[in-house]
Structure 1
Amino acid sequence: MIRLLLVDDDPIVRAGLRLMLGGAPDLEVVGEAADGAEVPALVAAHSPDLVLMDIRMPGTDGLAATEALRARPGAPEVIVLTTFNTDEHVLRALRAGAAGFLLKDTPPQEIVTAVRRVMAGEPVLSPAVTQALIDRVAGLTGRDTRAEAARARLALLADREREVALAVGRGRSNAEIARELHLSLPTVKTHVSRILTKLDLNNRVQIALLVHDAGESGAG
């Protein structure tokens, strides 16, 4: 069973999520919170595998809660909930270690699928959406400095690790990377793990964001 914690200040949204997720045989909602400040205690009490986190909440918002949660060892995965068109802070959540984001009007079955994908190690972000987020949000102050810092971090990787990182930045799955680079699937997984360790990153989304920051996402 995948254990879920729902964090949203709207009780109607929480009720809807609980209803749709509770119908899946492999998902279990183990707790709910209306404010990001409640998250640490609930995570300690219920040990969820994944947190569905609203961004806009009174008190402690989902961005601050995600940053605090993902900084802890053994933290659960986080998927942020957003309205996208009005929320310009999704990238901050992804940089903090969230595994992706869902629009609040995402069809129920897609939310269930997204939860399963994240728990299988796949981010819930298409390459097109990743690029749209970066174009919308990341732009602005410090872009050149961030690009230089990202390129310096990528330079720490061995040649093959860098090739794998660039492929992750293009939204490729492990299986696709294996085919493109003529590697075995276990070898690709090993490279991804080494990249995460060397660069002190949480997940594949952060690899992709680093590649985009470096201006390398179109490579290959």
Structure 2
Amino acid sequence: MAENTLTPSGDPTPAVMAPRRPGPSAPVCAPAARLWPDFMTGQEKSPVRVLLIDDDEYMRRVIAQELLSDLRIQLEGQADSIREGRKLLATHAFDVLMVDLRLSDGMGFELIAEARRHHGNGEIIVISALEDDAHVLRAFELGATGYLLKNAWLQSFADAVLHVVNGGAVITPRLARRLLHRLNHQPREPQPADDASPPRDTTLTPRESQVLRHVASGYVSAEIGAKLGITGQTVNVHIKSIYKKLHVHSRAQAVNLAVHTGLI
């Protein structure tokens, strides 16, 4: 399949496909080039820096190959254990950490927590075969902004990296559907008061609830605005209001808190 290239101005231009004999895996035609505005993070001269930690050698190779084929992404380093992952975190600056949960010497939650403590501005995407709600919610509680299943179809690891670094969240569609089902059927029971809970009289407006549901599905502000018929800037205003009401500082925290308190 032909890869897109970037011109000096940053505009994507489709590469020319050389003729080849059709085969079982050969595409019928090249996909349409996708626009990538200059104001978005991830350009050829300033690619998104990624660290990849996974002890599944085959899966790590597949992901690495996809990331390396995208000029908007720079793969800074790879590791296959918590021990080696800690070394990467200590010696490499990064924009996105991609980490498996089940590693040979422990659980990837340790690396997520460490990355959050020492690299607060970095984004974290979990890549795992574990898809139970407890692991998913735990990852988001610790600060992950993405959760992809290794065996899921129709997902792009490169797109996931670019999505989260530009303010979005990514989650495998099957998991997103389950979490939305959970939101819709969460019992509205009183929650014990603690420092992490919003005030008892906290309520979201109908529009804020709509916005938060779309955030839970992984859409970015511009996409949410298009779905609701409002501007992306207006969506961001609603998100800031949600943060203030829920006493949180990220989209993942807002979604997680709303799940546990039944606000949406």
Same fold by TM (over 0.5)? yes
C-alpha distance in structure 2 between counterparts of 1:87 and 1:156, whole Å: 28
Relative to structure 1, is the Cα distance of residues 185 and 91 closer, same or farther in structure 2, using a 3 angstrom cutoff? same
Is the CA contact (8 Å cut-off) linking 1:4 and 1:48 kept in structure 2?
yes
Q: State the TM-score, normalized to the length of structure 2.
A: 0.64
C-alpha distance in structure 1 between counterparts of 2:214 and 2:54, whole Å: 29
Is the CA contact (8 Å cut-off) linking 2:82 and 2:105 kept in structure 1?
yes
Structure 1 partner of 2:198: 153
Q: 2:148 aligns with which of 91, 95, 102?
A: 102
Q: Larger helix proportion, structure 1 or 2? A: 1
Relative to structure 1, is the Cα distance of residues 176 and 12 closer, same or farther in structure 2, using a 3 angstrom cutoff? closer
Aligned 1:122-201 pairs, distance under 5 A: 122-125=168-171, 129-130=175-176, 132-133=178-179, 152-153=197-198, 165-172=208-215, 173=219, 174-175=221-222, 178=225, 184-193=231-240, 195-196=242-243, 199=246, 201=248
Is the CA contact (8 Å cut-off) linking 2:180 and 2:213 kept in structure 1?
no
Larger Rg: 2
Relative to structure 1, is the Cα distance of residues 200 and 131 closer, same or farther in structure 2, using a 3 angstrom cutoff? farther
Q: Does 1:39 align with 2:82?
A: no
Higher relative contact order (CA 8 A, sep 6+): 1
Structure 2 partner of 1:216: 263
Instruction: Please list every run of 5 or more consecutive structure 2 residues that lacks an aligned counterpart in the other structure.
Output: 1-46, 183-187
Task: Give the Å deviation of 1:10.
Answer: 2.0
Q: 1:12 aligns with which of 53, 58, 64?
A: 58
Q: Does 1:118 align with 2:164?
A: yes
Task: Give the Å deviation of 1:46.
Answer: 1.9
C-alpha distance in structure 1 between counterparts of 2:70 and 2:106, whole Å: 30
C-alpha distance in structure 1 between counterparts of 2:97 and 2:193, whole Å: 33
Q: Which moved more, 1:205-214 or 1:105-114?
A: 105-114
- Give RMSD over aligned pairs: 3.6
Structure 2 partner of 1:140: none
SS of residue matched to 1:67: helix
- After superposition, what is the alpha-carbon deviation per residue over 1:84-113, rounded to whole angstroms, capped at 9, x for unaligned? 456851210111110021111345862221
Relative to structure 1, is the Cα distance of residues 189 and 156 closer, same or farther in structure 2, using a 3 angstrom cutoff? farther
Q: Which moved more, 1:50-59 or 1:75-84?
A: 75-84
Instruction: Please list every run of 5 or more consecutive structure 1 residues that lacks an aligned counterpart in the other structure.
Output: 137-142
C-alpha distance in structure 1 between counterparts of 2:201 and 2:177, whole Å: 24
Is the CA contact (8 Å cut-off) linking 1:55 and 1:81 kept in structure 2?
yes
SS of residue matched to 1:71: helix
- Equivalent pairs counted in the alignment come to 209
Structure 1 partner of 2:129: 83
Is the CA contact (8 Å cut-off) linking 2:124 and 2:144 kept in structure 1?
yes
Structure 2 partner of 1:50: 96
